[in-house]
Copies of this chain bind each other. A is one copy, B any other.
Amino acid sequence: MSALPRPIINELRAVVGDTWVVVEEKAIERYLYDETAYGVRPQPIKDVIVVKPGSTEEVAEVLRIANKYKVPVYVRGGGTGLVGGAIPIKPGIVMSLERMDKVIIDSENMVAEVEAGASFGKLLEEADKHNLMFPAHPGDEGASVGGLIACNAGGSRAVKTGVVRSYVLGLEVVLPSGEVLKLGAKTIKNNFGYNLAHLFIGSEGILGVITRAYLRLYPKWGYTATVIIPFDSRVKAFRAAKKLLFSGFIPLALEYFDRRVIETSAKYLGLQWPIKEGDYFLMIMLAEALEDTLFLELEYLDRVAREEESLEPFATQRDDEQKTLLKIRSEIFSSLKSETFDILDTTVPLGNVDRFIENIIDVEKRYGIWLPVYGHVGDGNVHVHVLNYQGFSRDQLEKITEEVYNAALMLGGVITGEHGIGYIRRKYVKRLLGDTWIETMRKLKAVLDPNNVLNPGKVLPEE
């Protein structure tokens, strides 16, 4: 027996058409979860109606109906979030934007006009056809562009040109009231009332529904290389990373992982990790407009590697080899997922990345566990997996999570650099963000969404 008001289904059908309102349990199943690790993800509510609007106007109508009945709306993109942000936890509407997936490349101005439901992969592909690129790479290419923006996604290739926020030139947002905000233009600079767009970027779907965006593209940097620098100690690897960052050298990506982690991923993919020496690796991705610049950077990396006592570095400019290396790096999360309690997203100030790792090693020793560590050392954003260790209770796993968080917090860091708060990190909000922050956020939420229909139970703590 559904807790939802009876007439709502027919009203939704009248807006989007019968085909695009889904209520059958089996068909709904795949709209109930995201990529949040099993250990921490919330139990979804199955008493939901899945609605698939085909236009901004339909999104607006659905929100008007939701407001009329005061029914929650959980907006869904690619379902690749890691903090339960898209999981319905109260009876309501799951609004999937999958039909709104147009990507238009304005190559003349190097801008992509993208509907929110378009996949990140489609954006990359379409840009590539025009010899343009979207430099950031927040992992899973199944993510939707709307989701990337709503969550201000980051990823590995944010060192040179920034996280998703830096690419958003314009935004169309449907407010919970059904009104449509059109913000920004196709210009790189814009101070004509632009700040509103930035309120929605990273607000994790609690203030409005992003339906369309102008994204800045770059000319494809034709010359690329991937370099793997192996080390025989974790401390040496991090020292080298710091040296590179503090030298003013700006790669596209600067990643860290160890042999155990990367071989787990390679094995999961049925591939071989090609570097035989060393147990700790820096992976540097380079992309340049001039080939000679790339060569200079390769030489420079080689020099620094040797100064920092690396083992033999491996460099390749071959596309297929680079893709394989990135693939193995990108699938670390998937390869560990089945045994993962939670994937953490701690981020520390740049100068503290090496100290952070030492603290993690200390936690490992004290608990006698393996904490897989990898990530975006180039911006201080290091992922730590807490696994389902045998013989450990849920409380103990949460205690270990706290220890990792504290390791970051003590060094002036934050508990999430890119994944966001969503559902699972809400419990830390009261402790870590001041009352004034929470009160201000609540006030803004109440003004924009007076009936609290958008993603209720997420981001803000319970009152």
Which chain A residues have a beta carbon within 8 Å of chain B's beta carbons? Answer: 106, 108-111, 151-152, 154, 158, 162-163, 165-166, 175, 179-183, 185-196, 198-203, 218-222, 245-250, 289-290, 292-293, 296-297, 300, 345, 347-352, 376, 379-381, 412-421, 425, 429, 432-434, 436-437, 439-441, 443-444, 446-448, 459
Contact = CB atoms under 8 A, between A and B. Distances in A.
Contacts of A296: 290, 292-293, 296
B199 A195 contact: yes
**Centre residue among A110, A195, A246 by max chain B CB count within 10 A:** A195
B434 A182 contact: yes
B110 A189 contact: no
A175 B200 CA distance: 20
B192 A416 contact: yes
A441 to B, nearest CB: 7
A45 to B, nearest CB: 25
A414 B185 contact: yes
A191 B419 contact: yes
A197 B69 CA distance: 33
A189 B381 contact: yes
Q: Which 6 pairs between the two chains have the least Cβ-Cβ distance?
A: A189-B417, A248-B289, A219-B248, A198-B198, A109-B349, A108-B351
A256 to B, nearest CB: 15
Copies of this chain in the oligomer: 2
Nearest to A174: B436
Given A181-B440, A296-B290, A296-B292, A415 B192 contact: yes
Nearest to A353: B109
Contacts of A199: 195, 198-199, 444
A437 B181 contact: yes
A192 B414 contact: yes
A57 to B, nearest CB: 14
A307 to B, nearest CB: 15
22 contacts: A106-B351, A152-B194, A152-B195, A158-B189, A181-B440, A183-B437, A185-B413, A187-B379, A187-B412, A188-B380, A189-B418, A190-B417, A191-B417, A192-B420, A192-B432, A192-B433, A195-B198, A195-B200, A247-B289, A250-B289, A293-B297, A446-B447
